[in-house]
Structure 1
Amino acid sequence: MSRRAFPAAILLVVSMIGIVLIGRDTDPAPTPFFSETGGTWMPAVGASGSLTGSWFCPGVPATGEAGVGGSVVVSNRDDAQLVGRYMILTDDGVVADREFSVGPWAQTRIDVDATVPDPTAFASIVVEIDGGGGFVEQIANHPAGNSVAACSNDTSPTWYLADGFTVDGSIDTLVLTNPFDEPVVANLRFSTEERESQPGQFKGFTVLPRTVRTIPIAELGARDEPIIAVSVEATAGRLVVGRAQHYVGGGRLGYDVSLAAPELRDQWWFADGERNDGISETYSIYNPTDDDVEVTVFFGGLPLDAGVEDLDPIVIGPRRVVVFDPYADPTITGPLAGDDAFTPVDGDEAGDDGSGDGEFVDFATAIGEIPLGRHSTVFSTLAQPSIVVERVLTRPAGESVATSVVMGAPPRPDGYVASVWHMGVGPTVATEQALVVYNIDQSDATVTVEAVGPGGPSVVPSLSEIPLAPGSIITIDLVDPDVLGQELIVSSTSRVFVERLLPRGGDLEGRSGSFLLPASN
């Protein structure tokens, strides 16, 4: 097992802790299944606090092609049988509506594409759990790599994505799910390297009741684009938005399906980041508001003598996206924030593709020599929630590369950061450095991994009380047979953020990244 720790600068940790403590009102408890919900956090375990727990998955491919498909895993975290029902939705409407049960401390897997009667681009699943005593994740299967994503506790009228990519024929697809009985009417905007646009055909577009609608980004006129940020804002109703990204060139390879962000935040945290030979690491920061936003970047988990310089706040103009590369030479393409030369393009004036003139993306300056090895990153506005941040990591994979895109994790609006994280989908084969754990506190801690079996959670002896220094990062190998193919619980004596790096599946080398689900209390 690898237990690699990286000491952090104490002053940096103190600064970040101060950021975390900025809080707002606590989330209201969600209401029952298929009703409007009010949660504002990331997908979390035990978040509903109601008679039922509802989970809305971003969608999996169901084309019927070889190697393409998906499933949903329901984990029962209780010593009583779990019962519930699920619906599978496609562009044709509800194609399955079935009851299910899960034994105590067990899991069940719903094979989505096998249940869909006719091939379709994407199918979404909505799961209702009586009593709310479980959690749900999805697995999207593709020849370019499998991808795991948490399902959402809530629907929302707004959804945001900071990073999209269509270079060299890469395919970026929005997956919009309306699980309710009334139509959703929404507006879609996107920002690319050259423009901000609201295409005419996506003003007031409709997602029919209990259906899935897919939108290839190329339909927006955004072809061969290195960066595409998207906002979906419903004027009537609530929905769920996911993104499927198939990278086929432009320095990126792989497949990823994940949730969009349902709300803007003032903080986004990343446990994993790495500087090493052959690794590309960038962060896309999207400001879909009407005002300039100043964003501060902090790096954690670094040696005390790292010598990383403070970075002036990155100023992001209204409805703009910034690509931050920690290692690049300082380069700016496009106007500075607030530059009068930039004019947003309206789809009605520009045509259906929303094409227009002007450059649009800033590439932010580097901050000095970040040492080789792992680091964490946090982006903060120190103001009102106004941004979305995604990380794109491309690492060597055998003779090729593997790209993974991960949305950052926000603290809960009341400032809470979990010390317990749940993982229903883990590796089925021995995997080194499968977990990345970042201690945000300035105190020594220990981390323990439990495997959930028929008798409930039990500590894995080889993964018990792993030392975790103040403000440091460790990676944890999942190679013990007791953890393979099992639901896992990662507990720390401090507040932590936890990401997983799972094998892409099949004969593919490389990893697919995603966050575990935090415990809500």
Structure 2
Amino acid sequence: MSRRAIPAVLLVLIGLIGMVVVGRDATERETPFFAATGGTWMPAVGASGSLTGSWFCPGVPTSGEGVGGSVVVSNRDAAQVVGRYMVLTEEGVVADESFTVGSWTQTTIDVDALTSAPFASVVVEIEGGGALVEQRAEHPLGDSVAACSNDTSDTWYVADGYTLGDSVETLILTNPFDEPVVASLRFSTEAREAQPGQFGGFTVPPRSVRTIRIAELGARDEPIIAVAVETTAGRLVVGRAQEYNGGGRFGYDISLAAPALRDQWWFADGERSEGVTETYSIYNPTDEEVEVTVFFGGLPLEASAVNEGDPIVVPPLRAVIFDPTENRSGDVVDGGAGEGDDAPDDSEAAVDGEAEGDGEFPELQQASTDLPEGRHATVFSTLAQPSIVVERVLTRPADGSISTSVVLGAPPRPDGFVPNTWHMGIGPTEPTEDALIVYNIDQVEAAITVSVVGPDGPSAVPSLTDVPLPSGSIITVDLVDPALIGREIIVVSSSRVFIERSLPRGNDLPGRSGSWLLPQSG
């Protein structure tokens, strides 16, 4: 894979993140502590040895009408894990059970076997904290994997809601506590912002789930609907269930909303290829206009002018759609004599790289502002205070059909930490090429190693040990070794990386569903 260049704008972004080095010196005996992930962040795996760990899942469909869901608890330690889970629905608690997970193994909670409610959420408490928790939603439009949250929040945001055609967006609000939560909801499109009267101050009962269909708020046939849920009393977990079925999209996704606004959002997977549609929904729920800078990573040197486009202006209380295939700069960056009125009539390129006369030089090739074919990473930054949420929607051709997947961007941790170790509890159930997309954010040559967690703990996969990772590059990793199928895996890089997974949708459907691995917090 060729070496990648990095324009000045990324240097600014990297400078904002900072260079955080986390020591991992082994000690003979660890002191237990309460789990922490460095403040409100994306779902993450804490250090082993913590006293407790709480996981709040965004919810799965459980009606039994060709849909279902499960929660997978992965023990990444040699000691047995003891825990307890609650299954919550609109009717309240329908299950409250203890469980154990043996050394270096997994256990699955079959949620739809416990209830036939439209949606159910699961809260998992781990004694010892040495586990990670993810959920799988099953649906005729495709399966969807998502991490469960480490914490609740008093604010949640969704940037990309969609109700074109027969598409349905449903918010899943979970109150895992003993007291009612009072919240308000407002939504924005490209043209307007509104707060439906019935959601100016509504209640989510204790230990229960409440669902809201966005179309019922008067937002039908919208290509983008962004939502803000803010509590005035208590804290919630908010998930978004999205059925894509029309308007050029087809698929299913359940994932966590964003618990906070950020000034940066990173994406490892992006692709410009024939038949692929890639858009980003940017939501600004603040009262001030925001300028958003876009950087594309993992590109060849000749494509550096792609990053010289103008910022995206997002009005207050609005959502906008950004298509990276459009030329944003409006002007071609001139690398030599141009074609305008000021260009000399005889400024022709020399044949075979030779000048036509003494002292004359061939016309330099103009730098392209078009995003090149192939994969790329994308970074959105306000270079200001946290004020936006960004989600990516990728629709790819799939054996005569299409497959749509939506992914919320990944932020660096509030203290600037970007991990080099990522965990995946739910992986492919069959050999899968290009299952991992790895973006090296550092300008250093690096390497990654993929380990599989077995009965004796993690062990490196020989064919995936010290895989070269060029500076500032993107690589994809095939998970085709039978030892990897259905097992927890750990990816360790010698540089800081962002890693997405791309899993088959299941249900005999072609195409993929995207989501993040879980970063290790340190």
Instruction: Confirm or deny a common fold (TM above 0.5).
Output: yes
Instruction: Return the letter of the residue paired with 2:380.
Output: F
State the shift of 1:331 in Å. 12
Instruction: Return the letter of the residue paired with 2:442.
Output: D
State the shift of 1:219 in Å. 1.2
Task: Quote the residue 1:348 is aligned against.
Answer: none
8 A contact 1:73–1:110 mirrored in 2: yes
Deviations 1:415-462 (A, max 9, x none): 100000000000010100000000000000001000000100000000
1:222-241 aligned within 5 A = 222-241=219-238
Task: Quote the residue 1:321 is aligned against.
Answer: 319
State the shift of 1:368 in Å. 2.5
Counterparts of 2:34 and 2:301 in 1: how far apart (Å)? 49
List runs of 5+ in structure 2 lacking aligned partners. 21-32, 331-367
CA 1:38/1:436 → structure 2, altered by over 3 Å: closer, same or farther?
Answer: closer
State the shift of 1:482 in Å. 1.2
State the shift of 1:313 in Å. 1.8
Counterparts of 2:10 and 2:493 in 1: how far apart (Å)? 17
Counterparts of 1:49 and 1:321 in 2: how far apart (Å)? 42
Task: Quote the residue 1:338 is aligned against.
Answer: none
State the shift of 1:209 in Å. 0.3
State the shift of 1:327 in Å. 1.0
CA 1:37/1:371 → structure 2, altered by over 3 Å: closer, same or farther?
Answer: closer
Task: Quote the residue 1:396 is aligned against.
Answer: 397
State the shift of 1:50 in Å. 4.7
CA 1:470/1:329 → structure 2, altered by over 3 Å: closer, same or farther?
Answer: closer
2:310 to 309, 312, 318: 312
8 A contact 1:78–1:104 mirrored in 2: yes
Counterparts of 1:326 and 1:498 in 2: how far apart (Å)? 21
Counterparts of 2:286 and 2:110 in 1: how far apart (Å)? 39
Task: Quote the residue 2:288 is aligned against.
Answer: 291
State the shift of 1:9 in Å. 3.1
Counterparts of 2:8 and 2:38 in 1: how far apart (Å)? 36
Counterparts of 1:93 and 1:300 in 2: how far apart (Å)? 46
1:276 maps to 2:273: yes
Task: Quote the residue 1:337 is aligned against.
Answer: none
Counterparts of 1:288 and 1:74 in 2: how far apart (Å)? 35
Counterparts of 1:451 and 1:11 in 2: how far apart (Å)? 38
Instruction: Return the letter of the residue paired with 1:191.
Output: S
| Secondary structure of the corresponding residue to residue 308 of structure 2 | coil
8 A contact 2:159–2:227 mirrored in 1: yes
Counterparts of 1:289 and 1:261 in 2: how far apart (Å)? 15
Instruction: Return the letter of the residue paired with 1:419.
Output: N
Q: What TM-score comes out, normalization by structure 2 length?
A: 0.87
Deviations 1:264-323 (A, max 9, x none): 011000000000000000001101011111111101000011142412222212111111
CA 1:5/1:209 → structure 2, altered by over 3 Å: closer, same or farther?
Answer: farther
Deviations 1:240-284 (A, max 9, x none): 000000011100000000000000011000000000000000001
State the shift of 1:15 in Å. 3.5
8 A contact 2:309–2:329 mirrored in 1: no
Instruction: Return the letter of the residue paired with 1:269.
Output: W
CA 1:37/1:76 → structure 2, altered by over 3 Å: closer, same or farther?
Answer: closer
Counterparts of 1:215 and 1:49 in 2: how far apart (Å)? 39
Counterparts of 2:234 and 2:48 in 1: how far apart (Å)? 21
1:192 to 171, 189, 200: 189
Q: What TM-score comes out, normalization by structure 1 length?
A: 0.88
CA 1:458/1:10 → structure 2, altered by over 3 Å: closer, same or farther?
Answer: farther
Deviations 1:136-169 (A, max 9, x none): 0000000110000000000000000000100002
Task: Quote the residue 1:88 is aligned against.
Answer: 87
8 A contact 1:37–1:154 mirrored in 2: no
1:56 maps to 2:56: yes
CA 1:465/1:158 → structure 2, altered by over 3 Å: closer, same or farther?
Answer: same
Which piece of structure 1 moves more, 288-297 or 199-208? 288-297
| Secondary structure of the corresponding residue to residue 43 of structure 1 | coil
8 A contact 2:2–2:300 mirrored in 1: no
Counterparts of 2:3 and 2:122 in 1: how far apart (Å)? 40
Instruction: Return the letter of the residue paired with 1:82.
Output: V
1:159 to 148, 156, 160: 156
State the shift of 1:16 in Å. 3.3
Task: Quote the residue 2:476 is aligned against.
Answer: 475
State the shift of 1:130 in Å. 0.3
Task: Quote the residue 1:204 is aligned against.
Answer: 201
8 A contact 1:32–1:54 mirrored in 2: no
8 A contact 2:58–2:237 mirrored in 1: yes
Task: Quote the residue 2:357 is aligned against.
Answer: none
Task: Quote the residue 2:490 is aligned against.
Answer: 489
State the shift of 1:407 in Å. 0.1
Task: Quote the residue 1:452 is aligned against.
Answer: 453
1:107-126 aligned within 5 A = 107-116=106-115, 119-126=116-123
1:178 maps to 2:179: no
1:111-150 aligned within 5 A = 111-116=110-115, 119-150=116-147
Task: Quote the residue 1:342 is aligned against.
Answer: none
Counterparts of 1:6 and 1:251 in 2: how far apart (Å)? 35
CA 1:189/1:410 → structure 2, altered by over 3 Å: closer, same or farther?
Answer: same
Counterparts of 1:199 and 1:273 in 2: how far apart (Å)? 35
| Secondary structure of the corresponding residue to residue 198 of structure 2 | helix
Q: How many percent identity over aligned positions?
A: 70
| Secondary structure of the corresponding residue to residue 486 of structure 1 | coil
State the shift of 1:8 in Å. 3.2
Counterparts of 1:298 and 1:315 in 2: how far apart (Å)? 15
Counterparts of 1:390 and 1:255 in 2: how far apart (Å)? 15
Counterparts of 1:468 and 1:392 in 2: how far apart (Å)? 26
Instruction: Return the letter of the residue paired with 1:100.
Output: F
Instruction: Return the letter of the residue paired with 1:328.
Output: E
Structure label with greater radius of gyration: 2
